[in-house]
Amino acid sequence: MPPVVPPFLIGLIAAPVAKILLKPLVRGVVKTSVGLALEVKKAAHEAGENIHDLAAEVAAEMVAAQIASGDTAVRTEGTRGAAGGPSHSAKSEAPGRSEDENRASKIRATAGAGVKAH
């Protein structure tokens, strides 16, 4: 009959061997997981920046199209400006400017207020 080895002796021998073999494996899994999480975070940040850039471009194109078409609904007298203060009427602008030039300068001032530079 073969000798009987108690299970705790097998555990005492197998634990150091398992530690030597499993520690590098677990370390590699954790290192890869952290690296992957950082790459996903970086990709999400870049995607957010791209969306903000796209939104700024679309807003600029819309303002340019409104200026080109001479749309008077872009900015009316008595509305509040981008900074929350009251807007100035065309009469308060420089006397040499036409009403269209005054409106265009107001539109340029409000169009750049929401655009963030990188």
Cα distance between the two ends of the chain: 80
Half-sphere exposure for 114 (CA within 13 Å, toward CB): 16
The pLDDT of residue 99: 65
- DSSP count for the chain of H helices, then E strands: 2, 0
Q: What is the DSSP string of 17-59?
A: HHHHHHHHHHHHHHHHHHHHHHHHHHHHHHHHHHHHHHHHHHH
Side-chain-facing half-sphere of 66: CA atoms under 13 Å: 17
What residues contact residue 26 under an 8 Å CB cut-off, 6+ apart? none
Distance CA 52, CA 115 (A): 9
Rounded to an integer, what distance in angstroms lies between the CA atom of residue 86 and that of residue 81? Answer: 6
Q: Is the overall model pTM greater than 0.85, yes or no?
A: no
The pLDDT score that the predictor gives to residue 3 is: 73
Q: Where does residue 13 rank: exposed (0-12), middle (13-18), buried (19+ CB within 10 A)? A: exposed
What pLDDT, on the 0 to 100 scale, is given for residue 25?
A: 93
Q: What is the pLDDT of residue 30?
A: 96
Q: Which pLDDT does position 70 carry in this prediction?
A: 81
- pLDDT 10s digit of each residue in the chain, 118 long? 567 778 888 888 888 888 899 999 999 999 999 999 999 999 999 999 999 999 999 999 999 999 988 865 545 444 444 445 554 444 444 555 566 666 666 666 555 555 555 4
Q: Would you state the pLDDT for residue 34?
A: 97
Give the pLDDT confidence score for residue 91 in this predicted structure.
47
